[in-house]
Amino acid sequence: MKTIIARDRKIQIIEQAEPIILQSNLLIETSYSAISPGTELGLIEESDGRDLELGYSAVGIVLECGENVKGFQKGDIVACYGAPYVGHRERLLVPTTLCAKVPPGVDIKEGALAGIGAIAIHALRIAKLSFGETVVIVGLGVLGQMIAKIANAAAYNVIAFDIQSDRVDMLSGDNGIRAFSSLSEMENELARCTNNQGADAVLLCAGGKRTELTDYCLEWVRKQGKVVIVGDIEPVFPRNQLFAKEAQILISRAGGPGRYDPVYEKQSIDYPYGYVRWTEGRNLAEYVRLISNKMIDVKPFLKDEVDFKDVPVAYDELLERKKDRLTKIINYKK
């Protein structure tokens, strides 16, 4: 099978042996996978002298079920998430804890974004918001956009900000989300809608390591509010502001409980439902429910589709920012 890797900062398509079915795993023929620029462009930069596989979010058709698999069968369309099991490959061998069935009537391409959806959902769970509370989302890449849409579907009071006006414009069709490319306008709206109390939570989805956003967000958050780091930002915050607000600084890691746990992932042993309500797999399934019930519109993220054989050029475009798309969807079916 063909696989996409980064080698010496270049994208290559290589041949690999097809995976052999394992217990509690699904063998999946990939239909679509989503490029996550924030993660993958960073991996390309780290690929000097080594091969790094790319990708973590995909959708496809079950070819074979391993022993002890329940709830799935051959021919099912499934969304799946999580490297190293999921990548930009023609065939995927994925533990069932990292898969969710996509029901009939759903555009299969929307399932390719399920990993990004799970990460977005987990970030909002970390914020522990209640109905009607105000959340500020900073950085409107594909993940920030997804978080804004899901927060809006949950009836939170959503204010979004990005310096790129075209990204702000992408949310103009989402009734209830107020998005701004002007910092002063965003701050005025936040003051107005919270009566100068501040946001209950600020989610930092931007990149840039050390950034002035870590100072700003403590001005935006209310007393005893929360700042959730979702993007690639160093958690360096002024102590005086933290002390004055008694703010909580939280880290959102990937798609939820179970990530990087070999027992949950590799061995496909789920956590007890009564003790860990929202695992990464259950967050994945919740994303599928949202798109199935048309509670969020992810079609704006699906417009830039690329054939598998043309992927090296697609990455060059992302690296050179010739097309400032949030993501690209790889089509394996052409």
CATH number at residue 138: 3.40.50.720
pLDDT for residue 322: 44
Same domain, 217 and 292: no
The pTM of the full predicted model, rounded to 2 decimals, is 0.94
pLDDT for residue 81: 97
Domain boundary pick from 219, 251, 283? 251
List the domain range (segments joined by +) for residue 8: 2-113+257-331
Q: Is the pLDDT of residue 212 over 80?
A: no
Same domain, 90 and 19: yes
Task: Please list the residues that pair with 228 across neighbouring strands.
Answer: 203, 250
Mean pLDDT of the region 68-86:
96
Domain boundary pick from 217, 251, 285? 251
Q: Is the pLDDT of residue 324 over 60?
A: no
pLDDT for residue 225: 95
Same domain, 141 and 244: yes
- Among 126, 109, 122, 117, which Cα is nearest to 145's? 117
Q: Is the pLDDT of residue 323 over 50?
A: no
Same domain, 186 and 149: yes
Q: In whole angstroms, what is the distance from residue 250 CA to residue 174 CA?
A: 27
pLDDT band, residue 130 (cuts 50/70/90)? very high
pLDDT band, residue 276 (cuts 50/70/90)? very high
Could you give the percent of the chain with pLDDT greater than 70?
97
Alpha helices (H) in the chain, listed in sequence order = 37-45, 108-111, 114-127, 142-153, 165-169, 183-193, 213-220, 239-245, 280-292, 311-320
Q: In whole angstroms, what is the distance from residue 303 CA to residue 25 CA?
A: 31
- Among 265, 279, 273, which Cα is nearest to 25's? 265
Same domain, 12 and 98: yes
Contact call for residues 157 and 177 (beta carbons, < 8 A): no
Structure tokens at 53: 């596989």
Same domain, 269 and 297: yes
Same domain, 74 and 183: no
pLDDT for residue 153: 96
Contact call for residues 296 and 271 (beta carbons, < 8 A): no
Q: In whole angstroms, what is the distance from residue 314 CA to residue 215 CA?
A: 36
Mean pLDDT in the chain? Answer: 93
Same domain, 148 and 228: yes
Domain of residue 286, CATH code? 3.90.180.10
Same domain, 146 and 179: yes
Contact call for residues 31 and 308 (beta carbons, < 8 A): no
Mean pLDDT of the region 33-52:
91
Mean pLDDT of the region 244-269:
94
**Axis crossing angle, helix 311-320 with helix 37-45, rounded to the nearest 10:** 90
Mean pLDDT of the region 120-128:
97
Domain boundary pick from 216, 251, 286? 251
Domain count, the chain: 2
In this predicted model, which residue has the larger pLDDT, 113 or 326?
Answer: 113
